[in-house]
């Protein structure tokens, strides 16, 4: 019972973390290797606001943190990626380099040790089906579900959301219909970064803000996206449940050290069995047969 509760929480955590990555990939076709860095940036910014400016209200700090992260994301596209659009090798190298620069820069700037923590929204815990769950985790689950719902509504019912889907399906056709592909890509990076930041705000109170988390987040986000099918939204949710439960089970029965091994094994099995992922798009399959 405990395992199921923790598994669900862990899965929703994972999907929150990976939504930003998959959103960016599905719309701009840029594998955003700076995802983990943006995640940490948001946490660090929020911490800075709280710590350096005494009396700064927590919600405002959060908003500022997410907002700045999202601007950073948009700027990454606007000033760097837009110039190398379509050159896959350069895109990968550039996003990876930016991510490393941010993470290692933060580390150099003093983001080390245990002093960097965000406070939980509410302290305390409840007992659900025999498992003790603190409020923060409940908020994560709630916020995760809310995010899915909002994203769903956003892509169905808003103009820019529909433009997103158009670009994701067929960039050229969408461009012909008057959708500005660069603009949507900027917005997608902004939203993707904001999602990463949002996930960070929710998750970081559970631990410390450390640079290593940035790498872990990137890796788990990628693992979830590859398994679900790169650029597939439904896939993200299914895949995060698969990895989420696999992790909880390995943690319970083997050792927590193997979480990353599980992620990598899952990627490799996916690549061997069904390369396009669980919900891989037909188009991609066709390209690769």
Partner 1 sequence: MSAEPILSIKGITKTFGGLKALVDVSFDIEKGDVFGIIGPNGSGKTTLINCITGFIRTESGQVRFRGKDITGWKPHKIADMGIARTFQIMRPYYSLPAFKNLIIPLWSPRARKTGGWRGGGKHGDRDTVAVDILEEIGFERDSRVPYKLASTLPTGYQKRLELARCMALRPDVIFCDEVFSGLSMSEIAGMVPLIEKMKSEGITLIMVEHRLRELFKVANRVMALNFGEKLTEGEPLDVIENKQVREAYLGSEGV
Partner 2 sequence: MRKERIDRGLKVRTEGIYAINSAREILYLMGPRLLLIAGLLALPFVFEFAPYWKRVINIMCAYALLAIAFDFLANYVGLVCLGGAFFTGIGGYFAAIYNVNLGLPIYLSIPLATVSGALLCTFFLLPCLPLRGVYFAIVTLMYPLLFTRIIEALDIFGGTNGITGLDSFPNPYLEHYAIIIIALVFLFGMRRFVNQDVGLVLRGVKDNDQSVKASGINVTRMRIIAVFVASFIGCFAGAYIAHLYMWAGISLFALDFSIIPIASVVIGGGGTLVGAAIGAFILVPLSEILRAFGTFRIVIYCIVLTGFIVFKSEGIMIYLQRKYHQFERWVKV
Could you tell me the smallest distance in angstroms from the CB atom of residue 288 to partner 2? 6
Query: Cα separation of 277 and 77, whole Å?
Result: 27
Q: Does 189 bind partner 2 (CB under 8 A)?
A: no
The residues that bridge with 208 in the sheet, in sequence order, are 117
**Residue 15 Cβ vs partner 1, minimum distance, rounded to whole Å:** 25
Q: Which long-range contacts (C-beta less than 8 Å, at least 24 apart) are formed by 118-126?
A: 118/43, 118/46, 118/47, 118/50, 118/201, 118/204, 118/205, 118/209, 119/50, 119/58, 119/205, 120/205, 120/206, 121/58, 121/205
- Judged by beta carbon, residue 131 or residue 285, the one nearer partner 1 is 285
Q: Which does 275 bind (CB under 5 to 8 A by kind): partner 1, partner 2, none?
A: partner 2
Residue 107 interacts with partner 2 (CB under 8 A)?
A: yes
Interface with partner 2, residue 286, by CB under 8 A:
no
Nearest of 214, 262, 215, 209 to residue 239 by alpha carbon: 262
Residue closer to partner 1, measured from CB, 127 or 282: 282
**Distance between CA atoms of 140 and 248, rounded to whole angstroms?**
17
Helical pair 2-28 and 181-203, crossing angle rounded to 10 deg: 160
- Residue 166 and residue 239: Cα distance in Å, rounded? 24
Residues contacting partner 2: total by CB under 8 A: 42
Residue placing its CB nearer to partner 2 in the complex, 2 or 104: 104
Q: What share of the chain is helix, strand, coil (3-state, %, to 5)?
A: 75, 5, 20
Nearer to partner 2, 1 or 272 (CB): 272
DSSP 256: G
Kindly state whether residue 90 participates in binding partner 2, applying the rule CB under 8 A: yes
The reply on whether position 286 binds partner 1 by CB under 8 A is: yes
289 binds partner 1 (CB under 8 A): yes
Tell me 113's DSSP state: S
Q: Cβ closer to partner 2: 96 or 245? A: 96
Task: Mark 38-77 with x for binding to partner 2 (rule: CB under 8 A) and - for no binding.
Answer: ----------------------------------------
CB of 89 to partner 1, least distance (A): 13
Among 60, 146, 177, 271, contact with partner 2 (rule: CB under 8 A): 271
Q: Which residues partner with 87 through β-bridges? A: none
Tell which positions 265-284 bind partner 1, by CB under 8 A: 282
- Residue from the set 56, 75, 78, 104 that interacts with partner 2 by CB under 8 A: 104
Burial 161-186 (b: 16+ CB within 10 A, else e): bebbebbbeebeebeeeebebeebbb
Using the minimum distance from each CB to partner 2, give the nearer residue, 34 or 68: 34
Does 127 bind partner 1 (CB under 8 A)? Our answer is no
Q: Which is nearer to partner 1, 129 or 289 (CB)?
A: 289
3-state SS class at 131: strand
Alpha carbon distance 215, 251 (integer Å): 20
Q: Of 88, 132, 153, 274, which lies in the binding site for partner 2, with binding defined by CB under 8 A?
A: 88
Residue 88 or 170: the one with the smaller Cβ distance to partner 2 is: 88
Q: Which residues bind partner 1 (CB under 8 A)?
A: 282, 286, 289
């Amino acid at each position: 019972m405990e395992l199921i509760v923790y598994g669900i929480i862990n899965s929703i955590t994972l999907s929150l973390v990976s939504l930003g990555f998959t959103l960016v990939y599905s719309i701009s076709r840029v594998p955003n290797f700076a995802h983990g860095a943006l995640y940490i940036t948001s946490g660090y910014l929020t911490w800075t606001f709280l710590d350096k400016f005494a009396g700064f209200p927590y919600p405002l700090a959060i908003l500022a943190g997410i907002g700045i992260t999202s601007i950073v994301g948009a700027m990454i596209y606007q000033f760097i990626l837009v110039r190398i659009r379509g050159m896959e090798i350069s895109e990968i190298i550039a996003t990876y380099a930016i991510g490393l620069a941010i993470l290692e820069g933060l580390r150099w700037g003093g983001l080390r040790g245990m002093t960097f923590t965000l406070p939980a929204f509410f302290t305390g815990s409840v007992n659900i089906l025999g498992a003790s769950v603190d409020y923060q985790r409940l908020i994560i689950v709630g916020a995760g579900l809310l995010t899915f719902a909002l994203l769903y509504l956003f892509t169905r019912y808003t103009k820019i959301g529909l433009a997103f889907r158009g670009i994701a399906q067929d960039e050229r056709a969408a461009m012909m219909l008057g959708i500005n592909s660069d603009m949507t890509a900027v917005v997608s990076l902004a939203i993707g970064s904001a999602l990463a930041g949002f996930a960070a705000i929710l998750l970081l109170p559970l631990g410390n803000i450390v640079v290593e988390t940035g790498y872990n987040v990137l890796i788990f986000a990628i693992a979830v996206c590859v398994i679900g099918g790169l650029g597939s939204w439904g896939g993200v949710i299914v895949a995060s449940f698969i990895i989420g439960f696999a992790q909880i089970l390995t943690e319970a029965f083997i050792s927590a050290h193997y979480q990353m091994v599980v992620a990598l094994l899952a990627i490799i099995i996916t690549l061997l069995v069904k390369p396009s992922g669980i919900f891989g798009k037909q188009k991609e399959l066709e390209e690769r047969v």
